[in-house]
């Protein structure tokens, strides 16, 4: 069997802490009102349309028509999306830098809006410049855990399934990678991931 020689990361909640609450707690002071807005209006299910390739102009117009009383809040989701991602998760910047310094090829497959990705990628160039390639679901109109996005990524990265180790915080996404022959790891935190990488011979 081929031993993995490259690491393929998820981005949100693996490399970076992502939660729409980081943005909206600045706009909605009452916790119960904030919870209700994120549960019933600007939901993660609604946002997933962006990851699948729909434009924010379309989705926000539809949602604002349904909830006109929240139109102003809905309108900031797109232009201020980077505020939902305040920074990297503890230890992950150092781990990326260590892998890169060790010569391990780094890639990513992320469920992310193509239009939101561009300003975020520019903001975080110091990290993402270490990656050889990144497949963004919104650009491809394919999302994890669809097998097609993993196959597209392998082809684009020039990797055989056994050469890649995929790290994601969602079990269904890990299972999707494993279904096409990619070794998968369920992310919990940086120290656990580093220990797993050492066991697999990717770090000393």
Q: Which of 63, 84, 105 is the last residue of a domain?
A: 84
Per residue of the chain (204 residues), what is the pLDDT tens digit?
A: 568 999 999 999 999 999 999 999 999 999 999 999 999 999 999 999 999 999 999 999 999 999 999 999 999 999 999 999 999 999 999 999 999 999 999 999 999 999 999 999 999 999 999 999 999 999 999 999 999 999 999 999 999 999 999 999 999 999 999 999 999 999 999 999 999 999 999 999
Which of 6, 2, 31, 17 shows the shortest CA–CA distance to 132?
Answer: 6
CA angle 68-73-77, nearest 5°? 120
Same domain, 91 and 186: yes
Query: For residue 14, what are the CA distances in angstroms to 20, 40, 115, 147, 167?
Result: 16, 26, 21, 20, 8
Owning domain of residue 53: 21-84
Q: What span, in angstroms and rounded, lies between the C-alpha atoms of 62 and 25?
A: 23
The answer to whether position 1 is within a domain reads no
Residue pair 14/103 in contact by the 8 Å Cβ criterion: no
Tell me the pTM: 0.95
């Amino acid at each position: 069997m081929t031993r993995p020689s490259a690491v393929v990361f998820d981005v949100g909640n693996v490399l970076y802490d992502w939660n729409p609450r980081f943005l909206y707690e600045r706009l909605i002071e009452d916790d119960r009102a904030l919870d209700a807005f994120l549960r019933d209006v600007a939901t993660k299910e609604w946002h997933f349309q962006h990851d699948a390739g729909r434009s924010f102009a379309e989705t926000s117009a539809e949602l604002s028509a349904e909830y006109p009383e929240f139109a102003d809040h809905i309108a900031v989701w797109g232009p201020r999306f980077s505020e939902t991602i305040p920074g990297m998760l503890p230890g992950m910047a150092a781990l990326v830098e260590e892998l890169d310094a060790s010569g391990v090829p780094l890639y990513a497959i992320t469920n992310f809006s193509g239009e939101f990705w561009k300003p975020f990628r520019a903001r975080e160039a110091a990290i993402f410049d270490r990656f050889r390639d990144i497949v963004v679901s919104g650009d491809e109109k394919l999302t994890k855990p669809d097998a097609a996005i993993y196959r597209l990524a392998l082809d684009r990265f020039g990797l055989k399934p056994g050469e890649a180790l995929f790290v994601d915080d969602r079990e269904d996404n890990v299972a999707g990678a494993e279904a096409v022959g990619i070794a998968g790891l369920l992310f919990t935190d940086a120290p656990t991931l580093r220990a797993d990488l050492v066991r697999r011979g990717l770090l000393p």
